[in-house]
Amino acid sequence: IANSAEFIQDIESYYSKNGYYPNSLQAAWKDYYPDVVGIEKFHYAKYEDTYNLFFEQPRFFFDNWGTREFVVYNKQDKHIMLSHTSWILIFTPEQMQTNQGWYEFHDVPNTHWKYFWFD
């Protein structure tokens, strides 16, 4: 989470200059690294007038066997973490809020962060 501060700052600078968030941040080379063993990269997903920045947190073998944990930042606390790409294409924003596919979520002490558990 701490290593995302520069990335979030640059996203917010983009918003300040342009009045909107970028549609995508996909590119051949990643410029922002989590610098945490087991976490490959940050993911960015624009959602309505905000965005989610997230990464997958590795789970230990005996810690919630089969669970995948995603840690998500959303400045407006409109966290969306869907279990299926197709849901983005077929669900309304209201359906996405209520049918995300995770079985449990928790707040993180850091403001605007939550983590979601999927099986």
Residue 24 near residue 13, CB atoms below 8 Å: no
Q: Where are the alpha helices (DSSP H) in the chain?
A: 5-18, 85-90, 93-98
Q: How many domains does the chain have?
A: 1
Closest by Cα among 76, 56, 69 to 11? 76
Element housing 46 (H / E): strand 43-47
Tokens 């919630």 sit at which residue?
A: 64
**Residue span of the structural domain in which 108 resides:** 2-118
Residue 44 near residue 51, CB atoms below 8 Å: yes
Specify the pTM. 0.90
The pLDDT of residue 61 is 60
The pLDDT of residue 102 is 96
Q: Which residues of the chain have pLDDT under 50?
A: none
The pLDDT of residue 62 is 61
The pLDDT of residue 15 is 98
